[in-house]
């Protein structure tokens, strides 16, 4: 049986619910999806709900989203960017251009980008800094490729990924970075990482942040889980102390599925007792 102290934190949590579309949906389908999602958020999420929803389509629809997304609880972003604002980088997309398109978030370091396109921690660190420089919120994806028998090996791997990705970030800007813990072996799998395993990993990540930057930074940093998130597993994942949300991949391409997951997260948020002085997610 899980220790409830490991699952439910003492504070009211601000929750992120995000979706990345990979290389799916053409322009028309992207616009239709965004309109439905915006309508859902306007009708169902109240100003006082400590929740923010975001989606990451392909690059082509981004400029259209400025006129579609009107809910204050809904944001959008991109799945990658360059580490430079402009220059001779054929085929790359500038973080400055993403900001101009109205983006709030940019995902960096997804396992597919690391594996297929050879992105490494040093390159991603430059992208994190570029995103912050342009007023974006980088989502730094970290995750071990396989489940090790000795969890200490996983700790070492994740620590290196996270701290290298954050190297040189001004302490005052660390809160702008979101850490997405996505064990590679769970992405696209039938089941997410075991709950007790995820509890231990998220606790380790926060302990590492506290050791490196102090308790205040560790507590303020947003960390959320991605990898085979489903309607069956989302409630338990949201209950993990130190986990600030869920990041959904291909399953969220179905608008009904994604809005159902948002509804589930809303139920969780509204079930919590508010804590005086808790900063709302709108501060972002």
The string over 89-127, giving b where at least 16 C-beta atoms fall within 10 Å of a residue's C-beta and e elsewhere, is eeeebbbbbbbebbbbbbbbbbbbbbeeeebebebbbbb
List the catalytic residue out of 52, 144, 182, 241: 182
φ and ψ of 56, to 5 deg: -125, 95
Structure tokens at 25: 């949906």
**Catalytic-labelled residue, pool 52, 110, 119, 144:** 110
In the chain the first and final C-alpha atoms are separated, in Å, by: 36
Q: Render 121-168 in DSSP notation, one character per residue.
A: HHHHHHHHHHHHHTT-EEEEEE--SS--SSHHHHHHHHHHHHHHHHTT
Tokens of 78: 């991109």
Q: Compute the CA torsion angle 154, 156, 158, 163 (nearest 10 deg).
A: 180
110 counts as catalytic: yes
3-state secondary structure (DSSP) of residue 73: coil
Q: What is the largest CA-CA distance in the chain?
A: 56
The Cα–Cα gap between 164 and 280 comes to 29
User: Is 182 known to be catalytic?
Assistant: yes
Distance CA 242, CA 222 (A): 8
DSSP E strands: which ranges in 196-265?
A: 222-226, 245-248
Read off the tokens for 60.
């082509």
Q: Which residues are catalytic?
A: 110, 182
């Amino acid at each position: 049986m899980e220790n409830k102290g490991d699952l439910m934190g003492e504070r009211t949590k601000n929750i992120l619910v995000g979706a990345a579309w990979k290389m799916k949906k053409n322009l028309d389908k992207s616009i239709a999806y965004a309109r439905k999602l915006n309508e859902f958020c306007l009708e169902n999420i109240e100003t006082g709900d400590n929740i923010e929803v975001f989606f990451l389509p392909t690059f082509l629809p981004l400029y259209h989203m400025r006129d579609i997304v009107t809910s204050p609880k809904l944001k959008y972003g991109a799945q990658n960017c360059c580490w430079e604002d402009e220059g001779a980088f054929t085929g790359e997309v500038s973080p400055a251009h993403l900001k101009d398109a109205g983006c709030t978030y940019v995902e960096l370091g997804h396992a597919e980008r690391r594996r297929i396109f050879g992105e490494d921690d040093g390159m991603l660190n430059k992208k994190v800094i570029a995103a912050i420089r342009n007023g974006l919120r980088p989502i730094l994806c970290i995750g071990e490729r396989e489940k090790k028998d000795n969890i200490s090996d996983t700790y070492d791997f994740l620590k290196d990924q996270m701290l290298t990705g954050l190297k040189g970030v001004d302490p005052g800007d660390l809160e702008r970075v979101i850490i997405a813990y996505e064990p590679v072996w769970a992405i696209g799998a039938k089941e997410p990482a075991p709950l007790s395993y995820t509890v231990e990993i998220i606790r380790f990540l926060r302990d590492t942040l506290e050791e490196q930057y102090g308790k205040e930074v560790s507590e303020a940093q947003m960390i959320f889980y991605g990898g085979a998130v489903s309607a069956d597993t989302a409630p338990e994942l949201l209950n993990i102390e130190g986990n600030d949300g869920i990041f959904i991949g291909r399953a969220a391409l179905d608008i009904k599925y994604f809005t159902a997951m948002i509804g589930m997260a809303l139920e969780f948020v509204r079930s919590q007792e508010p804590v005086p002085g808790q900063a709302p997610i709108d501060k972002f």
